[in-house]
Every structure is written in structure tokens, then in C-alpha cells.
Amino acid sequence: MKQLSSSQLNREIIDLIQNHPEIDEFEVLAIDLSGHFYGKRYPIASLKSFASEGLAFPRSAIVMNALGEPLEGIYYGEGDGDPDAQFSLIPGTLSVNDWGNKPRAQIMATASSGKEATFFEPRNLLKKVLQAYQTKGWHPTVAFELEFFLFSRKRDDQGLIQIVRNPKTGRPDSPTLLSNTRISDFERVIDNIIEACNQQNIETGAVSAEMGAGQFEINFNHHSDVMRAADETCLFKRTVIETAKKHGMMATFMAKPLLDQPGNGMHMHISVLDDKGENIFNAGNKPQQRLLHAIGGLLDTMPAAMSFWAPNINSYRRYSGGNSCSPVSLSWGHENRTVAFRIPLAKDGAWRVENRVPGADANPYLAMAVSLAGMLHGMNHKLDPGKPCDGSVENGDEYLPLSLSSALAISIGSEVLIDILGRDFIELYCQHRKADKAAFEQFINAREYDWYL
């Protein structure tokens, strides 16, 4: 398999150099625990040697905070002498971007798996869960849906973000749901995003104007390669943010950037195929019992999963802020967008579950890994999800943590997640999020002076 991957990567490099002789630089991109890219820019001459020999990054880069800074109390980078970890380039991720002052190549890299130094690398965590499925002859098929906001590039006098102005009318955007006019008015930036996705071999689907002013959603097709689906989600985030800059705007996947507007969600559609390519959730005109068991597992692990689906302080404003539109209960149902886990209408036996809980700020690899872990737990133990919810679900659930601190307190004691993801990882992740929260809170803002001075 490694030889095949190496051969594929070499062909990709040859094709890129032949088709783009103007490119003289490339970027290497890797993902940290927070779901952000880090890496370096190199001359194109280094690409072939990196493909065959790999390259090194400090392993502490994986556990930096949201700003890419070291966190106090994290062993990696603080107590280990800050050694390098070996990284390898990922076949299928070599592409071109043109949002800078000239076109550049880019390629993703992953820390080599199977070594203690990289057990906390996000791709390796998702790989670990997928291997648990493979032992049963099961293969998840997934699709991500992400919402994002476009804002004005300039903040107001108080440093707060401002609603983006309609490029064609010059007026602040209005929150008209599913408005074709809004899509048309923002078509230059949206078309540019889709073109940039095409350059990176990311297939996009439906485009929709969402409920917030300046809020949009661009869907992806279902993917049998779960890792590639998560890769594309991370690349898409970067693409939206960089493309928006070209158009004098600011884009964000922040969970709740404005309290009076809806939040940004990351919905995940998941089905599972067997070795014959058959959907194990399909029982003709109704879902197979395994799908209900999978939902039972999602419900059982939901409190422990919240710190992964909502990893930041701001994440929880999406569940409790005004105009929430986000599920805050242990609930499931058929064709019901107010529940946590929805079974959409199935066409041609394509039964699946949609996880509507995660925010767009979640790390796609970890959010998917924890979702799949919960589903596997439910199917292994044949957990009953209880009765579906038919009407709108608006009230929260007392068992569901709605703050980062309370969510982490449950995650660290979850034997289900520990069994599948490993105790070392769960403990490190919880320590990482606690340290990130503590670093965020070491700041006095103007409101504190207004209230307490």
C-alpha cells in the first residue's frame, strides 16, 4: 500500500510540474488539535524529496492553542525538549491555490502513525476509529455540511464585527432564508470559492443562503473515503477564509459570532456499507434496526462527545444564545430538524443519520471520530434510542453539558470514548482544552471595567 501511495504521489508531482511550470513554491499543511492548519512554504524543488523522505515539524505544533501559541501545562513542547515528529505527504491532496499574489501548490501532511509521539494527531485518531469499523467489515460513508458567515473586513470603533454589505446594492445584507437573490448578489465571492474548491479536487454540491445576515452554506457530496472527506472540510474552511479576503470581506466558521443571529453548524451525514457495498442501515422502506442502535449509541455518548463537537468557549453560545436553531436535547427523530440526530428521508434505500449537534468550529477529524465511535458503541451493544420525537424540540436536557468546563468533566470519564480513542488521548485532549480555556480567560475586557470598576 505504501509503495502504491508513493507511486501515486510521484505521478501527481510530475503532472503538476508539467501542467503548471509557472509555480515555483508550495505549502505543506498539517492539522492541529484545534482544527487549524500549520506548516511551511518551500521552493518547488523540495517537493520530490519530501515525497520520498518525508519532512519534520515540531510535534508540539499539534497541541498549540487557537492562536498557534504554546499552552501552559502541556507536556509536549514544554517538558519533552520539543522534538520533531516525522511527517509524510498525503497522496491526493496536491493541488493549486491562487488567492495569493501568485499561484502556489499546496499539499497536506500527516504525522507518521504507530508511534507514541503522534497518538494525538487528529488524522490518526480518525484512522483508529475507521480501523475498528474495518475489523467488522464495515465502511462508513459520510458527508459534511458547513455554514459560515461573511462579514465586513473592517470592524467598528469598538473592535466588533460588522454585517457584510451586499456587493451589488451596497446595503447591509438581510437574513432572507434560501434567497436566490442573496446568492446572486454574492455570486462573485461564492463562484470564486467554488472555483477554488474545483482546483483542489473538492466536489461541492448545493449552495444556499442561510438564516443569518451574511450567512451561507455550501454542501459536499457523500464520500466513501472518510479521511478524504475530513481533509476536504479543512481545506474548504481555508478556501472560504482566503477567498473572502480577495473580495474585501472576512469569513468565519466561528460557532456563534453574533448573539442575535443563528450560529454556524457542521452537520454530518453518516451511513455504513458492508464489504459487498450494501448499506447496513437499509431495510427497504424503513431503517434497519442497526441504524436505531447507532442512534442509541450517539445518544448514550452525546454528553461525553460535546467537548469535541463544541470545543471552544464560544461554541456553547450557539446552543444558548438568542435565535439558537441548534439542538440542545438528547433527542432523535425522522425528518425533524429540531432534534440532535435526524433520520432524513431515504431515497433508494440510502438510510443514514444526520448529526446536527457539532458547530462549524469543531475539528472535523475529531468530530467525526467521536460520532463514529458512539455509533459503533450503540451497534455493538444494541442500544435502544427510545421513541422518536415527532414535534419541535425546544427545551434543553439536564444531562447535557452546555459549557466547556462541564463538557470536559464528562469527556474525561467516558469509558466508551477511552476504550475506542485511548485513555492517553482523552486525557491529553481534555487537558489541552482546559489550558486553552484558561489562556483565553487571562484577559480583562472593557465590559469588566464598565461593570466593576
Q: What is the pLDDT of residues 252-290, one digit of tens each?
A: 999 999 999 999 999 999 999 999 999 999 999 889 999
Q: Which residue has the higher pLDDT, 1 or 310?
A: 310
Residue-wise DSSP of 333-349: EES-TTSSEEEPPPSTT
What's the CA gap between 9 and 24, in Å, rounded? 18
Given a cut of 90, is residue 445 above it in pLDDT?
no
pLDDT number for residue 159: 87
Given a cut of 60, is residue 348 above it in pLDDT?
yes
pLDDT number for residue 321: 56
Least trusted range by pLDDT, from 3-7, 47-51, 186-190, 219-223:
3-7
118-132: pLDDT as tens digits: 899 999 999 999 999
74-116: pLDDT as tens digits: 999 888 899 999 999 999 999 999 999 999 999 999 997 555 5
Query: Domain boundaries in the chain?
Result: 2-112, 131-452
Class of domain 131-452: alpha beta
Q: Which residue has the higher pLDDT, 113 or 32?
A: 32
What's the CA gap between 286 and 269, in Å, rounded? 17
Average pLDDT over residues 410-421: 97
What's the CA gap between 117 and 111, in Å, rounded? 9
pLDDT number for residue 77: 87
- Strand extents, DSSP E, 119-159: 138-152
SS3 content of the chain, % helix, strand, coil (to 5): 40, 20, 40
Pairing of strands 353-355, 104-111: unpaired
Given a cut of 70, is residue 117 above it in pLDDT?
no
296-309: pLDDT as tens digits: 999 999 999 999 99
**CATH number of 2-112: 3.40.50.2300, 3.10.20.70, 2.40.50.100, 3.30.590.20?**
3.10.20.70
357-393: pLDDT as tens digits: 999 999 999 999 999 999 999 999 999 999 999 988 8
Given a cut of 60, is residue 9 above it in pLDDT?
yes
CB 212 within 8 A of CB 174: no
Given a cut of 70, is residue 2 above it in pLDDT?
no
Q: How confident is the model at residue 158 (pLDDT cuts 50, 70, 90)?
A: confident
